[in-house]
Structure formats: C-alpha cells, structure tokens
C-alpha cells in the first residue's frame, strides 16, 4: 500500500515548458500510484492572466500521453489553482499567501509546502525573500524549496545566489535538482559498486586502467540556441551532470547508505579532483563546435547557422577532458569525460576499463608485447538501460586464440515503460524529505571551482574553436587526447555508420 503524502505545491513558472513537459505529468503519475491523492493542492503562478479553468485545460493537455480516464482527469485537475503573479510585487505575494492558507485548510495539508522555482535563477533570491517576509512559509509543517539548474554561471555568481536563498531556507530545506540523479541507472551505480564484492574489491588504481563517461546527444541546440550560446557544453553538462556521475563512481564506500553519508563521500570525491593550472587545462581539456554534416542522407546545418546563435560564435557544443583524482584509491587513473551535441547517436554510458593481465601466456613465443583485450564493465544509462561485461574466452577450434565475449543485460522495454520518470522520483523524494539524489551546496561549489579554470583558460584563447562534422563523435583533438596516453575511446558508434556507408569520413 503506497503512503499518501500531503502538501501544497506552489510552482513559480507554472505556465512554462518545464512545468508542462515534466512537472504536471510527474504529479499525475504520483497521483495515479496513490503517492498523492486527496490531500494535495497545486498553485501555478506566472505573469499570464489565466483562469483556474484554463490552467486545468493546460494540465489536461500535458498528461494526454498518459491516457488518463475521465474520472482520473476530473479528480486530479480539481486540485489545481492558478494565481497571476509578478515576482517583484510584494502585494501579490500577500494574495498568494491567502490562497495558500485557504487551500491548506480545504485539503487539510497541515502546513506542508513545497515551493518549485521553475524560473530563471535571477528570480530565486527575490522569490525566497518574499516567501519569508510575506509568511508564505509555515511554522506547522515543512517548507521545502526545489530549484533547477543552472545554479549560477561560475563560482562567484553561484555563491551569491546561494547566499540569497540561504538567508531564508536552511540547507536541509533546499533541493537542487539535477534530473540525471533521478535516472534509474545513475542510481544503479551505487548498487553495482557496493552490492557486488566482485567489483568493489577491484574498484581502485591497482585493477582499473581508466574510466570513460560519455553523454552524447544526437540533436543540435534546437530552439534553445539563444540560451545555449550563453552557456555552452562545459557549463550545461560538465559542471553538473558529468561531475555528479564522476563523484558517484569515485566516492569511498559510505559507512551506511544514508543521505548524509553519501553526500559526505561525494563531496570528498569532488574535493579530490585536481584543479588544473592553465597549462594543465590546455593539455587535458579540448572543445569543439559542430559544423555541417550528413548522416544516412539527412543533412544538418552548422551550429553557427542555428536560430538564436550569434554569427561567428565561439561557444563550444562539445567538451572532452581528462580528470585526475588525487587520493589513494584513484592515484594515476584518468577519468575521461566527453559530451556533445549533434553527435552520431544519443547515448549515455560509462565504461570501466580494467587493466590487462600482466603477462599474456597465450602469446606467440616470439611476441612478448601482445596484451590481451581489456575487461570492460559498461553501464548503459540511456536510451537503453543495463550492464555489460566483456571477458576473454577461447575461440572455438584448434589452437588457443582468445575471443572476447560479452555478458550483456538490458532492462526490457516493459520494465523501462513502468519505471518512474526522473522528475517523478525526485518530486517524491522531496515530499519525503530525502535529499540523497539532490545536489548539496558544497558539491555545486566544488564543481564550479573545477570548471571555472577551464572556462577562464578558453576565454583567453584567440584561435577559432575546432569544429567537427555534425553526426560524427567529435573533433579530432578529442581522440588525440586519449591516443597520447596510448588509450582510445571504447564507445565509437560512428564506425558502424562509416562501415555501412551512412557516414563519410
């Protein structure tokens, strides 16, 4: 039997794309499962002059793909209310507070309030200040704040933003969403590591040669050109998603699987990542921007031709880097990361590359240099979810030729269809007060310190940014980054397309 949670959701930016695409469908899924039922209410606020009925029609449209029954629609949307609101107008917070108190009484919510800031970060401080001054926070139940990335544009702006919010909310009331942390297989990283001694006993520099993390997108910037041109891949993906994955892979085992213990170890892992000098940035980080490209007969325009992008923009759409973690467990083990738009395939995967056996006993007597293929543990995060482990076996037939085999498990489509969406899981965690899969300020701060040096180094460069063909796997310098270490990227989907003539060199 699922436990019903009671709360008032106040969504600032309730008319926006995030609310319609993610928040309302996630709330409906929680409603359908009984996680919220009779004792909840939602206030959507934004500048637009909407009525409750129009707002509810928008909510109905947002959940159409979930095929709700007429009874579900009526029961669910009756909990939704709209309040036109200017976030800079103190008087309008008083009206919002009155509606909140009225709904609290109507639905017996016991003062539990969840404030979701689905707006630009520049408004976070103003909204937080008014929530306190106009007493929209309650003293009887919980008051929790959910905020979205980007959290600042560098360490200094992030700190200023955090100080404004922290003047109102305690750290344990602030839930910074990184939707990657809600993905099933990201959460499975801990299960793979700490639930299997076969891996955890080998999870160190003695047995692991390198770690590779790829977050590849096959789409371009789409309608986000204006936003993206001010951000770029480094801030959009590395500062948050990728460094969070690195922290989960690199952290020490927690003493107990609790929010506080996990957070402590993630922070320690991020603090151990080497902050590079400018010279080290130039040696260990590369970037690129997609140019024209063609895949399977479909042509793609260059980044600079996308709507909203400045002509001759030097914003990076691709980043690859080598991170070093200065602690005993990971001494000398490079963590290679890469992310980019308009790559060959959409996919997020982690490759743990284990060291080869010290001596290949199957080699020819005259060839003492041949190593066996590496054992590789792959964690597939999206669009497919699962694991694979490559092992060396004997090729069928005479002799003792080695033939790598892959032990492969992927979740079934039925499991994927029935698994909770990331936002659904994160909203439920917030209702329960569990911040394990959210980002603590110390994690944000350390991530910015790592990334800021890279950004500042690139900003000083005068040469044009390297380009890569759309639908390839990035610029040549990303491959050179590993080749100079005598290594290579494990995942290279472009090779299949080239082999079959769908992608030209």
Residue-wise pLDDT for 383-398, tens only, equals: 888 899 998 887 776 7
3-state helix, strand, coil in the chain (%, to 5): 40, 20, 40
Please choose, from the candidates 185, 144, 189, 82, the residue with its C-alpha nearest in 3D space to the C-alpha of residue 427: 144
| Cα–Cα distance for residue pair 468/338, rounded to 1 Å | 14
Per-residue pLDDT at 498: 87
User: Among 123-132, 160-169, 416-425, 467-476, where is mean pLDDT lowest?
Assistant: 416-425
Per-residue pLDDT at 419: 57
What backbone phi and psi angles, to 5 degrees, belong to 224? -95, 15
User: At residue 418, does pLDDT exceed 70?
Assistant: no
- Supply the mean pLDDT for the chain: 91
**Contact present, 243 and 369 (Cβ < 8 Å):** no
Per-residue pLDDT at 36: 95
Residue-wise pLDDT for 452-473, tens only, equals: 999 999 999 989 999 999 999 9
The torsion defined by the Cα of 102, 105, 110 and 115, in degrees rounded to 10, comes to: -20
% residues pLDDT > 90 (the chain)? 72
DSSP 8-class letter at 501: T
Residue 278's pLDDT band (cuts 50, 70, 90): very high
Residue 150's pLDDT band (cuts 50, 70, 90): confident
**Contact present, 293 and 471 (Cβ < 8 Å):** yes
Per-residue pLDDT at 273: 98
| Cα–Cα distance for residue pair 380/214, rounded to 1 Å | 10
Catalytic residues: 241
C-alpha pair distances (Å), 64 with each of 58, 59, 426, 447: 10, 9, 22, 38
How many beta carbons lie within 10 A of that of residue 151, not counting itself?
24
**Stated length of the chain:** 505
User: At residue 368, does pLDDT exceed 60?
Assistant: no
What pTM, to 2 d.p., does this model score? Answer: 0.90
DSSP 8-class letter at 254: P
Per-residue pLDDT at 382: 86
Per-residue pLDDT at 415: 57
What string of H, E and C letters represents the secondary structure of 388-404? EEEEEEECCCCCCCEEE
Residue 493's pLDDT band (cuts 50, 70, 90): very high
Per-residue pLDDT at 178: 82
Residue-wise pLDDT for 118-143, tens only, equals: 988 889 999 999 999 999 998 899 99
Place of tokens 């899969």: 437
| Cα–Cα distance for residue pair 79/43, rounded to 1 Å | 9
User: At residue 361, does pLDDT exceed 80?
Assistant: no
Which tops the pLDDT comparison, 191 or 362? 191
Which tops the pLDDT comparison, 64 or 192? 64
Question: 378-399: buried (b, 16+ CB within 10 Å) or exposed (e) per residue?
Answer: bbbbbeebbbbbbebeeeeeee
Residue 412's pLDDT band (cuts 50, 70, 90): low
% residues pLDDT > 70 (the chain)? 95
* Angle 166-167-169 from CA coordinates, rounded to 5°: 55
The alpha carbon of 120 is separated from its chain's Cα centroid by a whole number of angstroms, namely: 18
Any bridge partners for residue 377, and if so which? 352, 389
Per-residue pLDDT at 363: 66
**Contact present, 442 and 311 (Cβ < 8 Å):** no
User: At residue 365, does pLDDT exceed 60?
Assistant: no
**Contact present, 270 and 247 (Cβ < 8 Å):** yes
User: At residue 23, does pLDDT exceed 90?
Assistant: yes
Average pLDDT over residues 35-53: 95
The alpha carbon of 165 is separated from its chain's Cα centroid by a whole number of angstroms, namely: 22
Average pLDDT over residues 180-190: 79
Which tops the pLDDT comparison, 3 or 207? 207
Any bridge partners for residue 80, and if so which? 42
Q: Which long-range contacts (CB under 8 A, 24 or more apart) does 261-269 make?
A: 262/190, 262/436, 263/435, 263/436, 263/440, 263/443, 266/440, 266/443, 267/440, 267/442, 267/443, 267/446, 269/325
Any bridge partners for residue 334, and if so which? 324
Residue 1's pLDDT band (cuts 50, 70, 90): very low
| Cα–Cα distance for residue pair 373/355, rounded to 1 Å | 9
User: At residue 282, does pLDDT exceed 90?
Assistant: yes
In 277-427, at which residue ranges do the beta strands (DSSP E only) sit?
A: 285-291, 293-295, 298-300, 318-324, 334-340, 347-354, 376-382, 386-394, 402-410
Residue-wise pLDDT for 210-253, tens only, equals: 999 999 999 999 888 888 999 999 999 999 999 999 999 999 99
């Amino acid at each position: 039997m699922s436990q019903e949670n009671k709360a008032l959701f106040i969504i600032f930016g309730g008319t926006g794309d995030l609310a319609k695409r993610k928040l309302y469908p996630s709330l409906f899924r929680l409603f359908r499962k009984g996680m919220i039922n009779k004792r909840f209410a939602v206030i959507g606020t934004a500048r637009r002059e909407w009525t409750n009925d129009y707002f509810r029609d928008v909510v109905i449209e947002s959940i159409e793909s979930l095929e709700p029954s007429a009874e579900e629609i009526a029961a669910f949307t009756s909990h939704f209310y709209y309040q036109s609101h200017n976030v800079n107008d103190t008087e309008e917070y008083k009206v919002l507070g009155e509606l909140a108190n009225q709904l609290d009484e109507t639905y017996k919510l016991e003062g539990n309030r969840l404030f979701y800031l689905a707006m630009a970060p520049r408004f976070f401080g103003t909204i937080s200040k008014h929530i306190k001054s106009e007493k929209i926070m309650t003293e009887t139940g919980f008051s929790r704040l959910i905020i979205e990335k980007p959290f600042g544009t560098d360490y200094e702006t992030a700190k200023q933003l955090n100080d404004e919010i922290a003047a109102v909310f305690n750290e344990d009331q602030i839930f910074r969403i990184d939707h990657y942390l809600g993905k099933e297989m990201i959460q499975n990283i801990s299960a793979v590591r700490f639930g299997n001694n076969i891996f955890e006993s080998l999870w160190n520099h003695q047995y692991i040669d390198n770690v590779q993390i790829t977050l590849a997108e096959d789409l371009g910037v789409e309608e986000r050109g204006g936003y993206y041109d001010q951000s770029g891949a480094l801030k959009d993906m590395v500062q948050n998603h990728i460094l969070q994955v690195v922290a989960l892979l690199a952290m020490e085992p927690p003493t107990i699987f609790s929010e506080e213990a996990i957070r402590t170890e993630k922070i320690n892992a991020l603090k151990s990542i080497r902050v590079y000098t400018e010279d080290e940035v130039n040696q260990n980080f590369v970037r690129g921007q997609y140019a024209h490209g063609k895949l399977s007969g479909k042509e793609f325009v260059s980044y600079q031709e996308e709507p909203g992008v400045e002509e001759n923009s030097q914003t990076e759409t691709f980043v690859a880097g080598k991170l070093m973690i200065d602690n005993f467990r990971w001494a000398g083990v490079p963590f290679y990361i890469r992310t980019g738009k308009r790559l060959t395939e959409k996919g997020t995967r982690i490759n743990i590359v284990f060291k080869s056996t010290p001596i290949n006993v199957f080699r020819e007597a005259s060839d003492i240099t041949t190593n066996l293929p590496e054992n590789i543990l792959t964690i597939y995060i999206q669009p497919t979810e699962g694991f694979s482990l490559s092992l060396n076996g004997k090729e069928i037939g005479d002799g003792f030729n080695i033939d790598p085999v892959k032990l492969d498990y992927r979740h079934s489509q039925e499991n994927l269809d029935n698994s909770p969406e990331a936002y659904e899981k994160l909203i439920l965690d917030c209702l329960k007060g569990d911040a394990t899969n959210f980002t603590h300020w110390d994690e944000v701060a350390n991530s910015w310190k790592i990334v800021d040096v890279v950004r500042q180094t690139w900003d000083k460069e005068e040469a044009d940014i390297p380009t890569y063909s759309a639908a390839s796997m990035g610029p040549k310098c990303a491959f050179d980054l590993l080749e100079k270490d005598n290594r290579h990227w494990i995942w290279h989907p472009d090779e299949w397309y080239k082999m079959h003539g769908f992608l030209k060199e």
